[in-house]
Amino acid sequence: LVEEMLSDVGEDLEHRHFSGEDTLDLERYEDFAAEVEGRFDLEFDLEQISDPDHWSPALFREEAQQRLQASYAENRDAVDLELRVEAARQVLLATIDELWTEHLTVLEQVDEAIGLRSYAERDPLVEFRREGGLLFHDLLREIRLSAMGGLLAFLRQAQAELDAALEAEARE
């Protein structure tokens, strides 16, 4: 499950920052890099990613996926498999719980706003289904991004604690 989520996270980031835009400016790439750095605590220096003339959403997606997979591989062995599975489960459940509650609140707001569209002779049920579907796909993307960020933070902390314990043991 974690490996599948890792591959989806790059696509989710690409969709969030580059989807539906004909022109891609430096600000979009900077926002992408800032989210990778902030959400996953990974260095994503734009100057280290090839020549700006060759930048593309696909290149950034692949770069983000490689860095996420490397971070996961680097830190996963600090925790045995059973604990890692339990941690992933807890992080995922907590993330779903929080984001689902927010999603329901947003759907209530959409429901209220949809009523106004009936004045424009649009079918409110069709409009709600369309908006709700888009919001649900956004919810799924955010669950993957947030859960992976939480799991990587947990694994990094576990690795840091293991390194500190090994260092203290070596000093003794």
CA dihedral 7, 12, 17, 22 (to 10 degrees): 90
Helix (H) or strand (E) holding 149: helix 124-171
Q: Using 50, 70 and 90 to split pLDDT, how confident is the model at 52?
A: confident
pLDDT score recorded for residue 22: 59
Residue type, 164: A
Per-residue pLDDT tens digits for 100-125? 999 999 999 999 888 777 777 788 88
Average pLDDT value over all residues in the chain:
89
Owner of token pair 């593309």: 56
What is the distance between the alpha carbons of residues 59 and 52, in angstroms, rounded to a whole number? 11
Phi, psi (degrees; rounded to nearest 5) at 11: -65, -40
Q: Who has greater pLDDT, 2 or 146?
A: 146
For residue 64, what are its two tokens? Answer: 């983000």
pLDDT at 12: 94
Residue type, 38: G
Mean pLDDT of 7-12: 91
Q: Could you report the per-residue pLDDT of 134-150, keeping only the tens digit for each? A: 999 999 999 999 999 99
Distance (Å, whole) CA 135 – CA 132: 5
Kindly state the tokens that stand for 40.
Answer: 């996953």
**Three-class DSSP category at 104:** helix
State whether residue 103 is helix, strand or coil: helix
What pLDDT does 100 receive? Answer: 98
